[in-house]
């Protein structure tokens, strides 16, 4: 089932709901059915090895090294 983002016009809450597209959305905050589905971002395909390497290299160049193992960290030039 897909994850959809909604905005409740009754209580002004925003939430994500895991549901089928033919189901009616109910606001978990107030119980209203006045939910408007929001546009969502498309998730990039993380299986693309080339993109994953580029993004990790960019993060490393910016100093974000938390996604690297100790073995990988030892290969970086200091």
Is this model's pTM higher than 0.75 or not?
Answer: no
Tens of pLDDT, residue by residue over 4-54, are 899 999 999 999 888 888 889 999 999 999 999 998 766 666 667 887 788
- Residue 63 CA to residue 72 CA, distance in Å, equals 14
**For residue 4, what are the β-bridge partners?**
17
Domain regions of the chain by residue span:
3-37, 44-78
- Residue 46 CA to residue 10 CA, distance in Å, equals 37
Buried b (16+ CB within 10 A) or exposed e, 51-65: eeeeeeeeeeeeeee
**For residue 3, what are the β-bridge partners?**
18
Tens of pLDDT, residue by residue over 1-14, are 678 899 999 999 99
Range 48-75 average pLDDT:
77
């Amino acid at each position: 089932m897909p994850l959809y983002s909604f905005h409740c016009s009754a209580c002004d809450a925003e939430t994500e709901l895991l549901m089928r597209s033919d189901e009616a959305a109910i606001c978990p905050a107030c119980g209203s059915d006045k939910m408007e589905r929001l546009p969502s971002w498309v998730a990039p395909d993380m299986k693309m090895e080339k993109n994953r390497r580029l993004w990790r290299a960019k993060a490393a160049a910016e100093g974000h090294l938390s996604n690297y193992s100790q073995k990988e960290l030892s290969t970086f030039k200091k």
